[in-house]
Amino acid sequence: MSSSTSSVCCVLHPFISCMTTKRLPLCLTVSQIAELDAAAGVGNGKLVPHDAGVNSRWHLVGPPHMQRFLTFKPAADDDDDNGNDDDSDGEEDVGFALNGVAESLVGDPSFVKFIQAVTGCTLTHSRHAVRRFRPGLDYTVAHFGAISSDETLDMSLCFVGGDDAAWDDGELGGFECYMPADDASNARASAEVYTAEGEGVLSLSAAFNSLNLVKRGANTLKFTKYGSLAPAACLSSLFYSFRVSGISAAWLLLVAGIFLQSFCYQNESVC
């Protein structure tokens, strides 16, 4: 659990258990993600064109002075052929898996109630995207135009290739960063200079099978750090942004309880 003057977060890791994956269209391992990315022509430390991995389902998002990554949108005929066509080359498995989670898990009203109970937020509206950040290519930039005047709840289910420890120190990039921006000039400056120790800065490293929940204050900048070429596979995520109406003071106590329970589970000899 981390906090700043403008944002508070809770990280659930690992999030989807082996029992859960039996009931969801998601069964991915680190090695499988690396293999799928290699089939798509991305990863493995190789310089690739900006349109690498782009096809009828993975679409390039821009403009490049603000952001660049791929987003997944199933084709109109996927329900008929299950995505098996000449354009797939096998790499859509990651997209279909995360899109299935959006429909089967996040689309379940009981899951939304769970998120509301954990965060203390009343969720009123949402938008989501299945995203793929390719090594050495993709990022989002903090800019004033993306700042919301309302509080939001960001939720990201993340899958990466490689060792989590390598991602944790930030050298591989791919981490999400939140920081306050009081006005347009501050927003532009924050987009150009990132200081991990800055006041109000919240930074979340990428990790395999990790769910990040961030209560994002109004007038808060957010960006995803440019990824290096080093990772063997892409950073794939299911991202949701919820509008909220009201937040309970009991939220921190609930999050602290989840954190303590997770700590005791992993450190039975201590607890």
Residue 271 lies in a domain: no
Q: Is the pLDDT of residue 136 over 50?
A: yes
Integer Cα distance of 162 and 38 in angstroms: 14
Integer Cα distance of 160 and 235 in angstroms: 5
> Which CATH number belongs to the domain containing residue 19 in this structure?
3.60.130.20
The CA-atom distances, in angstroms, between 56 and each of 3, 53, 72 are 40, 10, 9
Domain count, the chain: 1
Mean pLDDT lowest among 4-18, 32-46, 95-109: 4-18
pLDDT-derived band of residue 260, with 50, 70 and 90 as boundaries?
Answer: low
Question: Within a 10 A sphere around the Cβ of 225, how many other Cβ atoms?
Answer: 19
Q: Mean pLDDT over all residues of the chain?
A: 76
Write out the residue range of the structural domain in which residue 46 sits: 2-266
pLDDT-derived band of residue 74, with 50, 70 and 90 as boundaries?
Answer: confident
- Higher-pLDDT residue of 149, 191: 149
- pLDDT > 70: what percent of the chain? 71
pLDDT-derived band of residue 153, with 50, 70 and 90 as boundaries?
Answer: very high
**C-alpha 230: how far from chain center:** 19
- What mean pLDDT comes out for the span 66-84? 76
pLDDT-derived band of residue 224, with 50, 70 and 90 as boundaries?
Answer: very high
- What mean pLDDT comes out for the span 61-67? 94
pLDDT of 252: 55
- What mean pLDDT comes out for the span 69-95? 65
pLDDT-derived band of residue 70, with 50, 70 and 90 as boundaries?
Answer: very high
